[in-house]
Amino acid sequence: MKSISKKMPKSDDISIKLLLIEDSENDALILIYHLKKEGINVEYERVYSEVTVREALKNKKWDIVISDYAMPGFDGGEALKIFKEMDIEIPFIMISGTIGEDVAVQTMRNGAHDYLMKDNLTRLVPAIKRELIEAKNRRDKKKNLAELIIAKERAEESDRLKSSFLATMSHELRTPLNSIIGFAELIANDIFSYEDVVENSKLIYQSGHHLLALINDMFDFSLIESGELKINKTEISINKILDKLEIDFGRDNKVRTGVIKLIFEKDFEYGKDELYTDNIKFRQVLSNLIGNALKFTEKGLVKVGYKAIKDDAGNNFIEFFVKDSGIGIPENMQDVIFERFRQVEETHTRRFGGAGLGLSISKRIIEFLGGKNRVESQVGKGSTFYFTLPFDRESIKEVPEIKFVADKKLYNWSEKKILVVEDVDSNYKLVEMMLRKTNAKVIRAVNGIEAIEKCKSDKELDLVIMDIRLPDLSGYDATKRIKEMCPDFPVLAQTSYALSGDREISLQAGCDDYIPKPLDKSLFLSKINALLKKKNTQ
């Protein structure tokens, strides 16, 4: 390639890469000289056969093409055809010393952008400048159009996902609600044996937990989306967590009846199985994967385990796996399922429940914890989901004992008086019934002001259970006022928000402890017991 870059005085700083289709070297030099004279820096290549034109187009990007019309064995018309065939959009200026008006018109129709006579090149530079601007405009327009099309497709995809998510959510929420409302109504209105009532209540309980899991998923999802997911790392024992999961999932119908064999493989010895990570989130991810494995496996095997591995840089990780012999996942869906709301079956004929959030949440949690996710799967044979977590034995001290163990003890608080601050009747009733077997005297306040009044006037009170969302005065403010009057008076906060910061806010307001709704009865009673004991020792 020849390069003529010396600037002429008239230059207004245009540099072009020119493909010159011209058989005559002299004509080419005259043309280049003309451009130079007009102040254009030219990098050019001269070609004059079909093969060399194609080569030049393949090898380099050109700003402009100037082509002679008549050449021995090749002509400008054929060159134009190559451009069309290769779908190349470059300004194409035809020059000729011989052809007439009709050929010129035909040339323009075939895609040339301008047509000039060799003996009058005064129009050449203005034509080049104009064509460069127009080419840029065409490119911008094309780019804008492409961007618009992508944006439109994204909007349509997001709309489609939203509708499919809403339909799925509606179904997923209604399914457990159907059981809860249906069985509760049966218990209330029909005459049943005691066993039936117990059985139906268990189903209500299970459905309620199912609903709670769904709400927690949605909640986690929105925290992840807004970047507010909080990680709380502690030292955990992998084996103990697997033991707990083994018990929980052992209750699954398919496992209980032996249709699926659930195996846990623990590679490390107890005591040497510590990992520094977020306990709750780690369990959540593993539970989600095991739950999926059981859901998508009709019969056979689900195996859970882990092993130590190193990455390419020599860093230590533990790789966990959940392997099943279930339906498997088609290859083209193996990445997609980690996206939010995505499921292999996205139609109304779905055989499996689920909102399509679990894996996307798990993936993000593992990334937050410094690990990676992947899946291997074969349709009809099964899937293995893997995730890694950083493993650094150096940083691990002793595994602490779990601080708070919920128990199923029977308490006798016949000497105690508890104030329950709760505006919603059914919630009050629930607390009152949970406390019934303890023989505690239970009284109620329906708002914060009444709570403060009762604390002031009733000297027999031992404890306040404070709902946080109350009409008039919030539970936090009521607690502050109660604590101002009597700093040692125990207050247990309960809230439906269950936000990660709620605990801190409750404690800052002066509450002695915090429990989220829905209430776990044994945990609730243990917390009350701890607070009553603390009060006694004061």
Q: Which residues bind ligand ADP (CB under 6 A)?
A: 292-293, 296, 324, 326-327, 329, 337, 343-344, 354-360, 383
Residue 277 beta carbon to ligand ADP: minimum distance, rounded to whole angstroms: 21
Residue 354 beta carbon to ligand ADP: minimum distance, rounded to whole angstroms: 2
Q: How far apart are CA 499 and CA 477, in angstroms?
A: 18
- DSSP letter at 441? E
> Of the two residues 357 and 435, which places its CB atom closer to ligand ADP in the complex?
357
> Of the two residues 355 and 366, which places its CB atom closer to ligand ADP in the complex?
355
Residue 167 beta carbon to ligand ADP: minimum distance, rounded to whole angstroms: 13
With H, G, I as helix, E, B as strand and everything else as coil, classify residue 344.
coil
Residue 334 beta carbon to ligand ADP: minimum distance, rounded to whole angstroms: 9
Residue 388 beta carbon to ligand ADP: minimum distance, rounded to whole angstroms: 18
> Of the two residues 384 and 500, which places its CB atom closer to ligand ADP in the complex?
384
- DSSP letter at 10? T
E-assigned strands of 329-392? Answer: 373-378, 382-390
> Of the two residues 125 and 213, which places its CB atom closer to ligand ADP in the complex?
213
Give residue 2's identity as a one-letter amino acid code: K
- DSSP letter at 261? E
Percentage helix, strand, coil, to 5, in the chain?
45, 20, 30
Q: What is the C-alpha R_g of the chain?
A: 38
Residue 213 beta carbon to ligand ADP: minimum distance, rounded to whole angstroms: 10
For the record, the structure tokens of 153 come out as 């497709």
Residue 308 beta carbon to ligand ADP: minimum distance, rounded to whole angstroms: 24
Q: How far apart are CA 352 and CA 60, in angstroms?
A: 54
| Helices and strands in the chain, H and E counts | 15, 20
> Of the two residues 67 and 383, which places its CB atom closer to ligand ADP in the complex?
383
> Of the two residues 58 and 351, which places its CB atom closer to ligand ADP in the complex?
351
> Of the two residues 103 and 327, which places its CB atom closer to ligand ADP in the complex?
327
For the record, the structure tokens of 521 come out as 């009865």
> Of the two residues 242 and 465, which places its CB atom closer to ligand ADP in the complex?
242
> Of the two residues 327 and 525, which places its CB atom closer to ligand ADP in the complex?
327
Residue 208 beta carbon to ligand ADP: minimum distance, rounded to whole angstroms: 18
> Of the two residues 358 and 448, which places its CB atom closer to ligand ADP in the complex?
358
With H, G, I as helix, E, B as strand and everything else as coil, classify residue 111.
coil
> Of the two residues 71 and 301, which places its CB atom closer to ligand ADP in the complex?
301
For the record, the structure tokens of 189 come out as 């209105």
Q: Are 301 and 261 in contact (CB under 8 A)?
A: yes
With a CB cutoff of 8 Å and minimum separation 6, the contacts of 323 are 293, 301, 302, 303, 304, 382, 383, 384
Residue 51 beta carbon to ligand ADP: minimum distance, rounded to whole angstroms: 53
> Measured at CB, which residue is nearest to ligand ADP?
354
Q: How far apart are CA 272 and CA 399, in angstroms?
A: 9
Residue 216 beta carbon to ligand ADP: minimum distance, rounded to whole angstroms: 13
> Of the two residues 324 and 423, which places its CB atom closer to ligand ADP in the complex?
324
Q: Read off φ and ψ for residue 493, nearest 5 degrees.
A: -90, 145
Q: Are 81 and 112 in contact (CB under 8 A)?
A: no
Q: Are 528 and 536 in contact (CB under 8 A)?
A: no
Q: Read off φ and ψ for residue 514, nearest 5 degrees.
A: -145, 140
Q: Produce one character per residue of 82-117: b if its CB has 16 or more CB atoms within 10 Å, e if not.
A: ebeeeeeebbbbbbbeebeeebbeebeeeebbbbbe
With a CB cutoff of 8 Å and minimum separation 6, the contacts of 469 are 475, 495, 496, 497
Residue 346 beta carbon to ligand ADP: minimum distance, rounded to whole angstroms: 8
Q: How far apart are CA 278 and CA 281, in angstroms?
A: 5
> Of the two residues 74 and 338, which places its CB atom closer to ligand ADP in the complex?
338
With H, G, I as helix, E, B as strand and everything else as coil, classify residue 515.
strand
Residue 285 beta carbon to ligand ADP: minimum distance, rounded to whole angstroms: 11
Instruction: Report CA-CA distances (Å) from 216 to 223, 259, 324.
Output: 10, 29, 25
Q: How far apart are CA 307 and CA 421, in angstroms?
A: 50
Residue 520 beta carbon to ligand ADP: minimum distance, rounded to whole angstroms: 24
With a CB cutoff of 8 Å and minimum separation 6, the contacts of 510 are 479, 480, 482, 483, 487, 491
Residue 358 beta carbon to ligand ADP: minimum distance, rounded to whole angstroms: 3
CA atoms within 13 A on the CB side of 412: 0
> Of the two residues 302 and 420, which places its CB atom closer to ligand ADP in the complex?
302
